[in-house]
Amino acid sequence: MKATLIARTRIVYSTHSFAELVLWRVPRPVSGSAHEFKYRLAYVVHSVCVVRYDNEVGKGDHRHYGASETSYRFSTSERLIVDFQKDTTRWNDENSNS
């Protein structure tokens, strides 16, 4: 079985910010992950990726928030999207004066 694209969307929030969400179902977990998904969710502001969730091969599930990178405990694709949205809202709240 090949990888199956589940979702690919770009959400434009303003002239300077957007989110891109890509989710695949894979036949075997990618190295470092224990589930059947390969994903990349990114929030970009002024051409800079400020929030990103992904499971890069070998690194497993993790998130980038500003300049920091931390591990992420994946449970479901729905929870992944909720957590991503919370972080984008938090980033906007913390950086509303920038």
pLDDT digits (tens, 9 = 90+) for 37-86: 999 999 999 999 999 999 988 889 999 999 999 999 999 999 999 999 99
Contact assessment for residue 77 and residue 37, using Cβ atoms and an 8 Å cutoff? yes
Which pTM value belongs to this model? 0.92
Residue 38 pairs in a beta bridge with: 24
Q: SS3 breakdown of the chain: % helix, strand, coil, rounded to 5?
A: 20, 45, 35
Give the span between the Cα atoms of 27 and 31, in whole angstroms.
12
pLDDT digits (tens, 9 = 90+) for 2-39: 999 999 999 999 999 999 999 999 999 999 999 999 99
